Amino acid sequence: MSETIQRFLTQVAESAGQSTLVKMTLSKPVQKHDELRNVYVKPVLIKERRLYAFTYHYERRDEVKNYDVADMLKILGEMLPMRFLNAVLFTVDEDVALLVSSKGKATIQTKKVQECREQNLEHDKQKARLINPANPWWYQLGLTTREGKITADMQHKFKQIYKYAEIVESLIKPMKFEDTVHIADMGAGKGYLTFALYELLTQRLNLDVDIKGVEIRPDLVLKINEIIQSNHLKGLGLVESSIEDYHPEKLDVLIALHACNTATDDAIASGIKAGAGLIVCAPCCHKQIRQEMERSGRYDAITRYGIFLERQAVMITDTIRALILEYFGNKTQVMEFIEMEHTPKNVLLVGRKTSKNTKDAKILEQINDMKARYGIKRHYLETVLDLNA
């Protein structure tokens, strides 16, 4: 270790001993593709003991660990300059920056500060979460430890669930409900989103709900209902049924995320027939229309290429879905969002029920023109809704 780096660590130790250390950052990884991007350090008081909280900012997650002053200095000595080339120590009266060049030359820059700084020994306040991983059902579903910490292999899944919850909250929040909100989560699977919906609506929006997760696999239905019963979650349950065969009498909100192929259409049809105020779908697999396009043999300059044929089939499938929602009096919106870094973009199809029951013939003309152009006989959603298009 160079004398310059040792001098920097000595200043860190002195500021810790004098209780003037406000915070510290480590940045500029030696390896450009290092998953650990930076480290943030601040003093905290835990059970009357002064420790130093290290927040490790990884590319896809954050980890927080607390160390005493000896361990803090040891870790800094291991990371500088082997893992990070830059470090900044913020004290109550000055900033001390350690800069290490790619050739290993270290320099220290010191700057007096004018503003009044104080140490904050409190834990960082947790953000108001839409979903609380400390709730026992997340452990029972296999996403967290008993202590409510998200397991390493479920970090991606939990962030995905959280992202959906954010979107659903933004869609449901403006709606007015007179009494119990009736919701169907079509194709509930392992129940992750079903529980997220329940938690979001009951604990954050304080709504009285009747949420039904619809799932065809009996083992999942049995397991999830046992978790629901053990936590006494009133107004939540799973129903063993296919999406096609589930026909709710009353429905305010319909959610169908990644229901494969025509299962999305069955879900949309259920929502339309039940008069749902909000229909939210993330379509998945668009085989039906692609197969019709291939059978017709009608190709143009775009669809003659297989990959573009696939994309065109996706756009046509979802465009017709949006138009049919409009035909039945919904204001439609097609949203694009990215769940996580390095994952494909997703499309969210949203239909909001309006007071109009249009059944506008011009919409059917648009659908027919599109089908004629690409040699499509019939969209599956037309069939389940018995449209004469």
Residue ranges of the domains in the chain? 3-112, 136-384
Q: How many CA atoms lie within 13 A of 174 on its CB side?
A: 7
What pLDDT is stored for residue 126 in this prediction?
45
In the chain, DSSP assigns E strands to 21-29, 36-46, 49-58, 62-67, 84-91, 94-100, 106-112, 181-186, 209-215, 236-240, 253-260, 278-284, 330-338, 345-353
Single out the residue of 76, 9, 14, 10 nearest to residue 40, CA to CA. 76
3-state secondary structure of 10: helix
CATH architecture, domain 136-384? 3-Layer(aba) Sandwich (3.40)
Q: Are strands 330-338 and 49-58 parallel, antiparallel or unpaired?
A: unpaired
Backbone angles phi, psi at 47, to 5 degrees: 55, 50
Single out the residue of 61, 52, 58, 63 nearest to residue 23, CA to CA. 52
What pLDDT is stored for residue 335 in this prediction?
85
pLDDT along the chain (389 residues), means of 10: 92 93 94 90 90 88 90 95 94 93 91 74 59 91 90 88 88 89 94 93 90 96 96 95 92 90 91 94 85 83 82 90 94 76 67 84 92 91 82
Q: What is the DSSP letter of 152?
A: G
What pLDDT is stored for residue 122 in this prediction?
64
